[in-house]
Structure 1
């Protein structure tokens, strides 16, 4: 269950970060290649092409990364082991 929850968290955070990076890459593309702004073409290019691609790649990468971290018990301590008490 821990692995699935952390993978979903990674999917959510990765898609947010990927969408933000996609917007940045799209804006850079528009500026570097001098894309025309006729009838909002450059804005549609950024928000309908680069942002969904970035969100998809970031979501998959985040889910895989967090899933791999969750499978390694020594890398992240989500569940605590009970403290062994000496017999009294």
Structure 2
């Protein structure tokens, strides 16, 4: 990302921290969760793991921790509630 905006990676990370108040890793995780949430209506088409990897997460446990932190509930509960509506 830093290269895309022609910035030093450390300066870019500090900018993210200053502007958003979160670390660069947290910023990336939020973007990944946002991507997942915008595509959640298609979850029945493939396995949850497929969508986790398509969202950019390397493993399920990292996704679950980030999802719970960002959304406030675990993914299973969220999907169950979404299907109930």
Does the pair score TM above 0.5?
no
| TM-score (norm. length: structure 2) | 0.30
Which gives a bigger RCO, structure 1 or 2 (Cα 8 Å, sep 6+)? 1
Q: Computing the radius of gyration over CA atoms, which structure comes out larger, 1 or 2? A: 1
| TM-score (norm. length: structure 1) | 0.30
